[in-house]
Chains A and B, each alone.
Chain A
Amino acid sequence: MEHYTMNLTLKIWRQQNTQTPGRFETYPVKNISSEMSFLEMIDVLNEQLIKEGKDPVAFDHDCREGICGMCSMYINGRPHGPWQKNTTCQLHMRAYQDGDTITVEPWRANAFPVIKDLMVDRSAFDRIIQAGGYISVNTGSAVDANAIAVEKDHADAAFAAAACIGCGACVAACKNSSAMLFVSAKVSHLALLPQGSPERKTRSMNMVAQMDKEGFGACTNTGACEAVCPKGISIENIARLNREYMMTGLSDD
């Protein structure tokens, strides 16, 4: 792999806090190595800003290996940047060329208010899980792990849905700011397993109700969520949630 360095222009959304309106600021960065990750490039910018006595750009990040779901940048019109099935922290600068201008925005949705700069509040996701994204089993009351066999196909499909990292890119990409991919991934994960079956009905009902309450939009099956999901969660899950929901709605007493 050929390494190169580049000079870039960054247009970054700056916002002091939730209440104050934000604006774009333009920053040049120099000598960025193609081997850097995108966040390391932002680190370079921040070091530069601190030295100039300015406020560094606030952004969420933690594991920097694509699994914690904390990083959340909308880069040149796409959540997590140009690569497929990728998180911002795993995006590397060889995706860019010398002289490029990169626009970085926070996730935008009413349900994800900006806390500062590129950082948003995704606690709505936690509250959706609280509404039913679990199996009610107290510690100690489990049967032997092999007592219930799970069809391999179902186990694999449940795993594929459970791979969701809760980053919120689906919401950021959706024209309706819908959280259906996130909600459906959890509903699918648990509905596909026999352990999750007893609570199927209430789960889909309650999670959807919470999702609506949080101010996410409705799904119109455009598929943008699936296209940007770093873990490749399929929109088949959304159809499954639709089914679960209506089956419950129609059969409920």
Chain B
Amino acid sequence: MLDAKIPAGLLEQKWNYYKGHCKLVNPANKRKLEVIVVGTGLAGASAAASLGELGYKVKAFCFQDSPRRAHSIAAQGGINAAKNYQNDGDSVFRLFYDTIKGGDYRAREANVHRLAEVSVNIIDQCVAQGVPFARDYGGLLNNRSFGGTQVKRTFYAAGQTGQQLLIGAYQALERQVALGNVTMHSRHEMLEVVVIDGKARGIICRNLVTGELERHFGHAVLLCTGGYGNVFYLSTNAMGSNVTAAWKAHKKGAFFGNPCFTQIHPTCIPVSGDHQSKLTLMSESLRNDGRIWVPKQKGDKRKPNDIPEDERDYYLERRYPAFGNLVPRDVASRAAKERCDAGYGVGTTGQAVYLDFKYNLINKYGRAEANKLGIQNPDTDTLIRLGKEVVKEEYGNLFDMYEKITGENPYEVPMRIYPAVHYTMGGLWVDYELMTSVKGLYALGEANFSDHGANRLGASALMQGLADGYFVIPYTLGNYLADDIALKAIATDHPAFVEAEQSAADRIAKLMGIQGKQTVESFHKRLGKIIWDKCGMARSEKGLKEAIAEIQALKKEFWSDVRIPGIVNGMNPELDKAGRVADFIELGELMCLDALDRTESCGGHFREESQTDEGEALRNDEQFSYVAAWEHKAEHQWALHKEPLTFEVAKPSQRSYK
């Protein structure tokens, strides 16, 4: 039933084989083919630009005021590539292997290998576009290590790698706009996929300024609309990040893959109160130099600097002596939650742990500097002063950001951090060609489920978005469109367009007609709390069942008591938000259903029923080595399709970081 269309042959030859054998569209025909790209982050902008360069007529859409604002821009750390510029033993195979293992053996081998292969081309492409990656004094590219890998393969541009990569892709996109190959529609939100004879042939979208619904035809539709982390209300996603496009596709027949695989990032600035609208990430790289601890005594209200060394519990170093503070994201997050739940949390809310730089500031950087300067037996103050200068160079912008938000100086006082939702590995199910289960409908980047399994490694999201957009879709889309060259553009008065527009209009009218008492925001907050509490870092059968019931009740309440002010035929941000929250509510239910169904623990999905005696995640390969692809049937009803995962090269083993 579910055919991933993985090419035959040896793993490392599959992609080459595919490229050599896929169908092509000749340049004259490309000009007749229209492609719709929804979303202009790394995946969308790179896809729209590349397809425009090839000669397709591309229409790109984004809800922001400019394609340059997509949330890829907020990625801090870097982008992986198997360049092995550092001569430290990296290779395509190692990047492939690390990604499969990091994903806790729940990703597709062929996709991941392809990702590792094209990673090297991405760096070449970005440098040619003028992305100012960090360089050393010889003028060549610099790398850093990231997220527990043993090689330095991460390319970076200070703490703004995502921004620089997105600007590169954005510029390539704008170049195609100038050349007339891409038409850009910003401040537009996709509300429906138009399916004609089983194939995606267009979209309905709302012009967010005028409120008008518009019909757009395309021979194929690409969804590059990012992840759904905002289902938790509080996440590191942008305020506008939403699941609507993916969810509409899902309701039109695209299967949703592994919705319960969400990533909780361990180092974020904790929630300060009910007013909080979003969370801010502090780069994972901080764990290289910060030590994480809580007081040994429950409910200790002393200031952190007043707590003596022997009354501090460096719990990661205690539990995982081999990896210490550098355990993978999922492990670090769960350990923080465990301490806070047990009553050792710090800060006003008790939902935070300390990330302390003092030790390394003094002993690592301070001493190294003192040695360089030839200072014998330096006192602590000198060491602190010297160390501070180095730390400032490494993390200055992050420390400043922390201080702006919290008003505390992290050079003096330990940072308070807590895990927060950051990325969703799950997404629309796609085959090897990135096509969803609806023909001609593709999903790229975070919007699809394909490459990260149950847990994503640091600096891999940017890599995947660009791989899909620059180097995968230009081939796989041609393979599909080659059969469509005879098809003329379908007029948008086709009944399928009319019907899709009507359905979008009806839903808007229904939302506006409720005129209840509660704000959209309040529903979103309540949804977020349910999901965070019961489908967050730890999940149990009982909790998930409760969550499903609560979400169903919330849905009813939403559709009978939400209050949306303003007008339909004009700008109305509350209406936009209401549509998104309505979709999040439905997705939330599916997430819980998926989490309930998968009784093993793997990666970011931790089922309390499935853990080792020491409280570590326990995978069950025999039963769960599959992708859960959910088909929407009716309200509250889904059918599960399983795509079995076979590991021919990277044999599954239990992860251990002790």
Contact = CB atoms under 8 A, between A and B. Distances in A.
Direct A–B contact in the complex, CB atoms closer than 8 angstroms? yes
A158 B167 CA distance: 13
A175 interface: no
B171 A195 contact: no
Given A17-B571, A63-B238, A115-B209, A190 B130 contact: yes
B64 A62 contact: yes
**Contact-residue bracket for chain A:** 35 or more
A160 to B, nearest CB: 9
Contact of B175 (A134, A150, A152): A134
A151 to B, nearest CB: 6
B238 A64 contact: yes
A35 interface: yes
Interface string B382-412: 0000000000000000000100111110000
Interface residues of B, number: 83
Interface string A82-104: 01001000101010000000000
Contact of B160 (A43, A67, A140): A67
A62 B401 CA distance: 17
B135 A92 contact: no
A94 to B, nearest CB: 6
Given A43-B521, A90-B405, A126-B174, A70 B74 contact: no
A119 B406 CA distance: 28
Contact of A40 (B69, B275, B566): B275
A232 B385 CA distance: 26
A178 to B, nearest CB: 20
A121 interface: yes
Contacts of A184: none
B65 A134 contact: no
A189 B133 CA distance: 12
B305 interface: no
Given A17-B570, A40-B277, A126-B184, A195 B130 contact: yes
B73 A67 contact: yes
A120 B175 CA distance: 24
Given A55-B565, A68-B238, A125-B66, A130 B139 contact: no
A66 B137 CA distance: 30
Given A149-B138, A189-B130, A196-B130, A70 B64 contact: yes
A121 to B, nearest CB: 7
B474 interface: yes
Contact of A155 (B135, B276, B280): B135
B129 A146 contact: no
B175 A130 contact: yes
A44 interface: yes
A112 B385 CA distance: 46
Contacts of B175: 130, 134, 136
Given A67-B160, A142-B125, A146-B141, A37 B277 contact: yes
Nearest to A206: B178
B519 interface: yes
Contacts of B405: 37, 90, 92
Given A50-B519, A129-B174, A143 B128 contact: yes
Nearest to B50: A139
Given A126-B66, A134-B129, A63 B71 contact: yes
B273 interface: yes
Contacts of B504: none
A1 B74 CA distance: 27
B127 A142 contact: yes
B360 interface: no
B99 interface: no
Best-surrounded residue of A36, A40, A129, A196 (most CB of chain B within 10 A): A129
Contact of B239 (A64, A145, A196): A64
Given A33-B272, A37-B405, A150-B135, 9 more contacts: A47-B519, A50-B519, A51-B519, A92-B405, A116-B571, A129-B171, A134-B174, A145-B133, A196-B130
Interface of A: 1, 17, 33, 35-37, 39-40, 43-44, 47, 49-51, 53-56, 58, 60-70, 83, 86, 90, 92, 94, 115-116, 119, 121-123, 125-126, 129-131, 133-146, 148-152, 155-156, 158-159, 162-163, 165-166, 189-190, 193, 195-196
Q: List the 9 closest pairs (A to B, CB-CB), nearest first.
A: A149-B139, A142-B128, A134-B171, A1-B407, A159-B132, A130-B178, A142-B124, A145-B127, A139-B50
